Structure 1
Amino acid sequence: MERVRVAVQAADPVTLAGLASCLKSRAELLVVPTQAEADVVVFAADSVTSEVLADLRQSAQRVSVPRVLVTNELNPANVLAAVESRVVAVLPRTAATGARLINSVLAAASGGGVMPPDLLGELLKQVDYLQREVLTPRGLNASGLTTREIDVLRLMADGLDTAEIAQKLCYSERTVKNVVYGVTSRLNLRNRPHAVAYAMRAGVI
């Protein structure tokens, strides 16, 4: 059986050692020294401050693997920001028994997640607000892409070049290039293949 590689990040060495020791007790888990080697990251913090959120965001940008957050305090208003930083499981420190921690890591590794009911309810409210008040009025959907951007990316995924896409959609080539540039710059995507991959992961093409 292939072991799940887990990296642990914590502000203080005692917490770090405790979490690592707990995770090492299970044969199906392998604790690794760096996030770059990990399938899952366990991130522990007393409270989720703006600095901790910034750290989570930067960490997720460097290594895009699921994260299990162990904390005493997570403001419900910050739950969407945490999820956007690849946090798929939240464990209150008071309830973070060894079994729960390990189950959360295994769930994260298999594409699942574990969220306390109050935070899950708040997350759904924030996503609903985002969809209703922010995305829909701008012609965007939950992927952050407009209908026109999705049309262009779908044809790009089919292998069409700029001229062919322009002809198919009755746009100028400049318009197609502007659409692609708009997507890649707004969503911090590196290039066209990255934009297509983003749209495919979002399930819109």
Structure 2
Amino acid sequence: MQPQKPPSLWVDNNHAIVRRGMVACLQQAGFVIRGESAGLAPTPVVGRLDVLLFESEGTALRRAVRLVAGSPTRLVATVRIASEQQVREIVDAGVAAVLPHDGLTPESLVANVRAVVAGAVTLPGDLLVRLLTHVTRTASLGPAALNARERSVLRLLAEGLDTRGIAEDLRFSERTVKNVVHDVLTKLNCRTRAQAVALATREGTI
């Protein structure tokens, strides 16, 4: 068996000192940094990237989403001021993690990026609360809307497990887990896993 390749990232941030600090932390943790940018210039090359870590300011979110469209590269957004509208737009766009600059530490940066590489979706508690205020309510949500298997999968999603971790915990195939997640998103009228977790948490389903 060949050794697993270390995850590769591109780091984007408008402030050189912050950017280089992130790069140093991630390199020390074993990540491969493929490039750096400020305001997504130069344009990140996503072909070999596991994660594009970018600063969500101005039009950066839309540009980052377009860059990774059709690729397996996952997005991690850093934000300076996380307004409710900004959090909503970021999560709706399918970003896997939102990291506020305020309170971001080397340890939390590395832990969140590792979780994203593993397939998880991560949101800090305060941002999850903001997301709860905008997630669409559905009349069918409740104990009768989700079966026991769907609630189990959703509960493990809320704990930060990725598809493989859920499959191992519940002794399902990864394909089954993906199908269950799809059914959950459909029933809850949610576009992303983070939305589903937020809605189910607010409604007391998990």
After superposition, residues 1-205 of structure 1 pair within 5 angstroms as 1-2=3-4, 3-27=6-30, 29-33=31-35, 34-45=45-56, 48-49=57-58, 51-61=59-69, 63-129=71-137, 131=138, 203-204=182-183
Separation in 2, partners of 1:64, 1:85 = 15
| 1:99-137 deviations in Å (ceiling 9; x for gaps) | 1100010000111122122221232332225x56xxx9x
Give the number of equivalent residue pairs. 135
Q: Which moved more, 1:73-82 or 1:118-127?
A: 118-127
SS at match of 2:102: helix
Runs of 5+ in structure 1 lacking a partner?
A: 137-198
Deviation at 1:202, TM superposition (A): 6.6
For 2:21, the aligned partner's letter is G
Aligned-pair identity in percent equals 21
Runs of 5+ in structure 2 lacking a partner?
A: 36-44, 141-177, 187-206
For 1:203, the aligned partner's letter is H
CA RMSD of aligned residues (A): 2.8
Deviation at 1:62, TM superposition (A): 5.9
For 1:126, the aligned partner's letter is H
Between Structure 1 and Structure 2, whose CA radius of gyration is higher? Answer: 1
For 2:47, the aligned partner's letter is A
Separation in 1, partners of 2:182, 2:89 = 21
Deviation at 1:56, TM superposition (A): 3.1
Q: TM-score, normalised by structure 2?
A: 0.55
Judged with a 3 Å threshold, the aligned counterparts in structure 2 of structure 1 residues 59 and 123 are, in CA distance, closer, same or farther, namely farther
Separation in 1, partners of 2:101, 2:8 = 22
The runs of 4+ residues in structure 1 deviating greater than 4 Å are 199-202
Deviation at 1:84, TM superposition (A): 3.0
Q: TM-score, normalised by structure 1?
A: 0.55
